[in-house]
Structure 1
Amino acid sequence: MSEKKLYFPYSEYLKKIYGEKVYKLPVNIPVTCPNRVNGGRGCTFCAEAGTGFEALSPAVPVREQLRQTREKIEKKYNAHKFIAYFQNYTNTFLPLEDFSAYVEEAAVERDIVEIDISTRPDCVSGEYLEVLDRLRAKRGTGICLELGLQTVNYHTLKRMNRGHSLAEFIDAVLQTKAYGFQVCAHVILNYPGDGMEDAVETARILSALRVDMVKIHSLYIAKNTVLCEAYENGTISLCSKEEYMDRLIAFLCWLSPDIAVERLFGRVPERDAVFCNWGTSWWKLRDEAENEMRKRDAWQGKYFHYLGGAALKK
């Protein structure tokens, strides 16, 4: 008898769409974030370099970035299909003409089957979606928007200095899905102040909105951030690894089984953080989480029976 699938992996999701394994190539362009203009320091967890730790300099042309990274991935994995992942900061915060030029440049590069755009929920508008829609029609390229939600707890969003609430995320998902694009939501399950109920409710909201993917992050604390200062001053406390495992497993159990899971833990180079994953590698934690799910007889979607008039079914 085959083992029950614990969760729906992103790699399997991509294989269903493109027929084989697909690899992401990070792209870094000269863009910032609304939270960083006029002297702002950004979200409390965001470092000066943003999240593009693995990306090349934005001074390198987009096609050259893709070629350099693809060359390494091709040799290592014998890969044939790729996603151009505009990863860092808020990519739709660029002027519309510049944004259009960058995504068009990526789409014409060899073996790019999809364009992924990382952005904030409050920076999604019809004008930018129209640019992506025209690109899809012209090139046949898949489109995915990666939206930073982090949590559905609006009190926590305020403490994060996100600059938006849950409403903007819902609006961005509805706009994006109206074009038939994929949506990936980024969430942090252990930000200070959040608890188990927030993790579960985040899974429920994402399921109700029918997002396509979720990227789950365990909180890391990057150097030279507002959060780093609070951590070093002892004004915040972080949950234990065991508590995070409880939240992660609960999140998956309440999450729709149709939503692909891209990752379970955050990743950052050791040199850039004062705290990350309780001093354990992400892949060891992943194995530990999967083993714990087997012990608890837990799987993605185990409790997914709350939509579609659940009270009428009782």
Structure 2
Amino acid sequence: MENKNRYNIYSEHLIKKFGQKVYKLPVNLPGTCPNRDGTLSTGGCIFCDEQGAGFDALPNSLSVQEQIRENKKYFKKKFGAQKFIVYFQAFTNTYLPPGRFAQNIRTAAAEEDVVGISVSTRPDCINETYLDILAAAKEEKNLDINVELGLQSVNYHTLKKINRGHTLAEFLDAVSRIHRRQFEICVHLILNLPWDNIDDVIENAKIVSALGVKYVKLHSLYIVRDTELGNMYQRGEINLITLEDYVRRVITFLEYLDPGIVIQRLVGKGPQNEVLFCNWDASWWKIKTELERKLVEEDTWQGKRFNYLNGKALNRWSQPSD
């Protein structure tokens, strides 16, 4: 089995889906989330810094249209790109008045060469009003609509530890509502949270597989100064797994994952400044290369252990009798 076939690669999936390379254009909106402004809690998730994961994007002082056009110009020049997915990336992009959300979506949909819109949000910030807005854009412009849900872990004890502000139940509700609209879902997970073990990694894979999500994006945990997690790290209150253990967790996750799920990312990267820990001081590309090497070395692949759904215990009677 060739290396590229060991897991379901996002870039290859896009080529099959759209008939050519398609590039994501990040949009970084000024905003917040209910876990920061007091609606649910203050301070946000214990790992989240002030940029809200929007560090790899243009300044949020630029309008949605300006960011799309600047990024489009860059990707066209560097990669010869022709088709794009507008990706509302930082913070919680549905946590704003419906009218403003609708305007953002209309602005993105109106841009030339845009074939899809991806909206990053929280499971507790999805409801029928906002799904109606996305449905209208899909119907009017025949756009591919994708909702990215930050889950991080299926372990509800861990979700409480990281001050996530929601449990697994809200995630299940959001997935159900999004699926009814026939939008695709991308789930974000962190496989090296200090309170999760290999059993949680396997359960992550099993739950997203059982729910029929389309995409998974894995983040390796990074720790930023002046966050609650950063303070815990500096006080010696948490233990982080080794790089070798992270590689093992990702491989195990892939083995239990439905082979039809597309992997958007195997390992993340952190901001440039004020980072206390990020990727064991290795480049994300080096870690990705090591993961792919290990898959070949161990002759394993995505879905190798995907044998637990559809009443596994009844398999004893599925074999023809003598």
TM bracket, shorter-chain basis: over 0.9
Q: Deviations over 1:149-178 (max 9, x none)?
A: 101000000001001001111111111011
Q: Secondary structure at the match of 1:45?
A: coil
The answer on 1:309 being equivalent to 2:311 is: yes
The answer on 1:8 being equivalent to 2:28 is: no
Q: Contact 2:217–2:265 at 8 Å: present in 1 too?
A: yes
Question: Which has the larger displacement, 270-279 or 91-100?
Answer: 270-279
Match of 1:153 in 2: 155
Match of 1:262 in 2: 264
Q: Secondary structure at the match of 2:171?
A: helix
Q: Secondary structure at the match of 1:274?
A: strand
CA–CA distance in 2 between the matches of 1:68 and 1:272? 27
Match of 2:143 in 1: 141
CA–CA distance in 2 between the matches of 1:123 and 1:166? 14
Instruction: Give 1:1-314 correspondences, 5 Å limit.
Output: 5-38=5-38, 40-314=42-316
CA–CA distance in 2 between the matches of 1:283 and 1:91? 28
Aligned-residue sequence identity (percent) comes to: 49
Structure 1 position 31, deviation (Å): 2.0
Structure 2 unaligned blocks of 5 or more: 317-322
Q: Secondary structure at the match of 1:92?
A: coil
Q: Deviations over 1:230-282 (max 9, x none)?
A: 00111111011111111110000000000000111111233241111000000
CA–CA distance in 2 between the matches of 1:292 and 1:120? 33
Q: Contact 1:122–1:168 at 8 Å: present in 2 too?
A: yes
Structure 1 position 2, deviation (Å): 5.1
CA–CA distance in 1 between the matches of 2:130 and 2:49? 26
Aligned length: 314
Amino acid at match of 1:17: K
CA–CA distance in 1 between the matches of 2:209 and 2:51? 32
Amino acid at match of 1:59: S
CA–CA distance in 2 between the matches of 1:61 and 1:311? 54
CA–CA distance in 1 between the matches of 2:76 and 2:231? 41
The TM-score with structure 1 as length reference comes to 0.97
Q: 1:272 to 1:112 in 2, by over 3 A?
A: farther
The TM-score with structure 2 as length reference comes to 0.95
Q: Secondary structure at the match of 1:300?
A: coil
Q: Contact 1:48–1:224 at 8 Å: present in 2 too?
A: no
Structure 1 position 309, deviation (Å): 1.4
CA–CA distance in 2 between the matches of 1:92 and 1:271? 28
Q: Secondary structure at the match of 1:270?
A: coil
CA–CA distance in 2 between the matches of 1:193 and 1:59? 37
Structure 1 position 76, deviation (Å): 0.8
Structure 1 position 134, deviation (Å): 0.6
Q: Secondary structure at the match of 1:93?
A: coil
Q: Contact 2:188–2:217 at 8 Å: present in 1 too?
A: yes
CA–CA distance in 2 between the matches of 1:269 and 1:88? 13
